[in-house]
Chain A
Amino acid sequence: CFVQTTGLVGLAVAENPHERLRILYTKILAVLQNIPKDAAYRKYTEQIVNQRFNLVQTETDVQKLQDKLNGGQIEEVIVQAENELSLARKMLQWKPWEPLVEEPPTDQWRWPI
């Protein structure tokens, strides 16, 4: 049966969510290929994305997919995937897997002084 509304303000019902999620996850994996293989971000994000990708491909019913993904409504999962994609693109520029930029001065973080 057709769901009339997501129940959330500003989020429209997504028609064909499987297709949208498939596109987003392939794009994220493509961006992650450019990160060095030993970076922890690449490892963990690939794990999450592959897990969700497999669930999306095996489960065709939207309701059951929502329950299995355990991430709120399917439209929220789509928004989260878009966020992850933009984050991956920004991580490519920032390169946070490099070693520490600068050590803090001694006593900077000592508490109580």
Chain B
Amino acid sequence: TVRPKNEIEQKQLCAFGEYVAEILPKYIQQVQVTCFNELELLIHPDGIIPVLTFLRDHTNAQFKSLADLTAVDVPSRQYRFEIVYNLLSLRFNSRIRVKTYTDELTPIDSAVSVHKAANWYEREVWDMYGVFFANHPDLRRILTDYGFEGHPFRKDFPLSGYVEV
């Protein structure tokens, strides 16, 4: 069986994506809607705080809840890490995904000033991938052991690690 296509929701998401892209042309590079009706905004890394504040505070887009903050490692690209923010709007019952890019050495602005929930998520991304967040209140390791060296979720980190246990 195939999931039935929800054309109305897709049109609404497309319309909203165009609305946001019209308001913030300085930072939004691309907008796409997946076949499962998920809206994604692809952002330049300078625009994280403006875009997240806009999505949180604007009346038509009250995405007050940060559901997830992760990173994706694609080593073949020039900017290998793709930082993904998943936001939820309780007022309008809708979700949106915001994606940015960075490499190992360029810092990214911390989202803690916009969403307090980003604190531990950013610590996890730092620990697992090595992405540095500027203006984070307390960026240190959260899941790895105290003397652990390396960033485990990177694609070039071996499955059973470098140290024998």
Q: Which A residues have a C-beta under 8 Å from some C-beta of B?
A: 40-41, 44-45, 48, 71-72, 80, 83-84, 86-87, 90-91, 94-105, 107-109, 113
Contact = CB atoms under 8 A, between A and B. Distances in A.
B29 A96 contact: no
Contacts, number: 82
Say whether chain B's binding surface is mostly helix, strand, loop, or mixed.
mixed
A38 B18 CA distance: 17
Contact of B77 (A41, A98, A108): A108
Contacts of A105: 77-79
A104 B44 contact: yes
Q: Is the interface of A mostly helix, strand, loop or mixed?
A: loop
B53 A90 contact: yes
Given A44-B19, A104-B44, A109-B30, A80 B25 contact: no
19 contacts: A44-B19, A44-B60, A45-B59, A48-B59, A48-B60, A84-B57, A84-B58, A84-B59, A90-B53, A94-B26, A96-B23, A96-B27, A96-B50, A96-B54, A97-B23, A98-B25, A102-B46, A104-B44, A105-B79
